[in-house]
Amino acid sequence: MQNLMPAASASALPAILDQIHTDAQALFGQGRVASYIPALAEVPPRQFGIAVALVDGSTFSVGDAHTSFSLQSITKLFAFVLALKSVGDELWQRVGREPSGAAFNSMVQLETEKGIPRNPFINAGALVITDILTTRYAHLDYALLGALRRLTDDPELSWNARIARSERDTAHRNMAMAYFMKSYGNFVNDPELVLDNYCRQCATEMSCAQLAQATMFLANNGRDLRRDGSPDEQFLAADDARRVNALMLTCGAYDAAGDFAYRIGLPVKTGVGGGIVAIAPGIGTVAVWAPELDAKGNSVLGAFALEQLVLRTGWNHGQA
């Protein structure tokens, strides 16, 4: 695929990223690290990294871009893609494609909508996706890790067992959602097993640099850029990549998705670990991380950095 960003703009990226990184420092202290998962509450708050990967194979980074962090809800994106590859449009019989307008862990809509979650990126929808994959794979945790290791070219990529246990021990609301959906016939497996898989999935750790690389297929018509010398891989059909991006744009930032679309204008997926990944189709990917969150559960510095980046590059217009 042709890179839509002129070489001159690419050469300006290091200075742009440095300036954004400097400007964002003033926002430290305006958010708080996630505290409802005890292990995440211990993360030092004053950290911030940005990584950019372009479809021509070039990469740029600044700050703590090579520090691993807990992906949390960003893993919902990869699980959703794996389910889409596995069962195709059958998936939409069990989960919707609409913004929820409610908090990521809300149960309110499940009763009025008969146990069908609004989209795959809220917790209820992600649990259904994990249930689908638990049926499909005897060892889902390793199936998902295998895909992520290939996308990042890192055979050592894994989840953090301590964070997974901390999350599992406090997953009471998620467990309630699972049983509630099971009462409507929209849950097949034992909720305990699905929650085990889900919490290990959410505890997967990556750096910004790895996350930008892992999502390159969404900027590149479904093709993963291989950096180990092997041929590029058609990881996802081009039409499916476009649809995934559309869902990220409308549903990827919890109940702040509309605000993100207005301010940033790119498909994004956020996580309460402080990470955000954004896709600029035909151009590249951006991963940001800063663990201090706003009231909606999105990274304060990360959202600022993405907004500044699109203002300075015009990537939200499809061109620089």
DSSP state of 72: G
Binding residues for substrate: 73, 123, 167, 174, 198, 254, 272
Assess whether pLDDT exceeds 80 at residue 109.
Answer: yes
Q: Are 8 and 14 in contact (CB under 8 A)?
A: no
Query: One-letter amino acid identity for 240?
Result: D
pLDDT-above-90 percentage for the chain:
85
Nearest residue to 62 (alpha-carbon basis) of 290, 270, 264, 217: 290
Catalytic residue among 100, 128, 198, 310: 198
**Burial class of residue 95 in the structure, from the number of CB atoms within 10 Å of its CB (0-12 exposed, 13-18 middle, 19+ buried):** buried
Q: Place 271 in a pLDDT band, splitting at 50, 70 and 90.
A: very high
Assess whether pLDDT exceeds 80 at residue 317.
Answer: no
Predicted confidence at residue 226, as pLDDT, reads: 82
**Burial state string for 162-178 with b = 16 or more CB within 10 A and e = fewer than 16:** ebbebbbeebeebbebb
Nearest residue to 247 (alpha-carbon basis) of 108, 129, 113: 129
Assess whether pLDDT exceeds 50 at residue 67.
Answer: yes
Spatial neighbors of 26 by CB under 8 A, at least 6 apart, are: none
Beta-sheet pairing, 69-70 with 205-206? antiparallel
Binding residues: 73, 123, 167, 174, 198, 254, 272
Interatomic CA distance for residues 164 and 204, integer angstroms: 8
Q: What secondary structure does DSSP assign to 86-109, as a single string?
A: HHGGGGGGTS--S---S-TT--HH
Catalytic residue among 194, 244, 254, 277: 254
> 45-63, pLDDT tens digit by residue?
999 999 999 999 999 999 9
> 113-145, pLDDT tens digit by residue?
899 999 999 999 999 999 999 999 988 988 999
- Say whether 137 is catalytic: no
| Domain range 7-71+206-313, its CATH number among 3.40.640.10, 3.40.710.10, 3.40.50.300, 3.30.450.20 | 3.40.710.10
**H runs (alpha helix) in 186-226:** 191-202, 208-214, 216-219
> Quick count: other Cβ atoms within 10 Å of Cβ 295?
10
**Burial class of residue 230 in the structure, from the number of CB atoms within 10 Å of its CB (0-12 exposed, 13-18 middle, 19+ buried):** exposed
Q: Place 7 in a pLDDT band, splitting at 50, 70 and 90.
A: very low
Assess whether pLDDT exceeds 60 at residue 2.
Answer: no
pTM higher than the cut 0.75: yes
Task: State whether CATH 3.40.710.10 applies to domain 73-202.
Answer: yes
What is the residue extent of each domain of the chain? 7-71+206-313, 73-202
Catalytic residue among 33, 268, 272, 300: 272
Provide mean pLDDT across the span 218-235.
89
Catalytic residue among 61, 76, 268, 269: 76
Provide mean pLDDT across the span 217-231.
88
Catalytic residue among 73, 106, 207, 299: 73
- Say whether 299 is catalytic: no
Q: Place 318 in a pLDDT band, splitting at 50, 70 and 90.
A: low
> 146-168, pLDDT tens digit by residue?
999 999 999 999 999 999 999 99
HSE value, Cβ hemisphere, 13 Å, CA-based, for 299: 36
- Say whether 244 is catalytic: no
Do 7-71+206-313 and 73-202 agree at the fold level?
yes
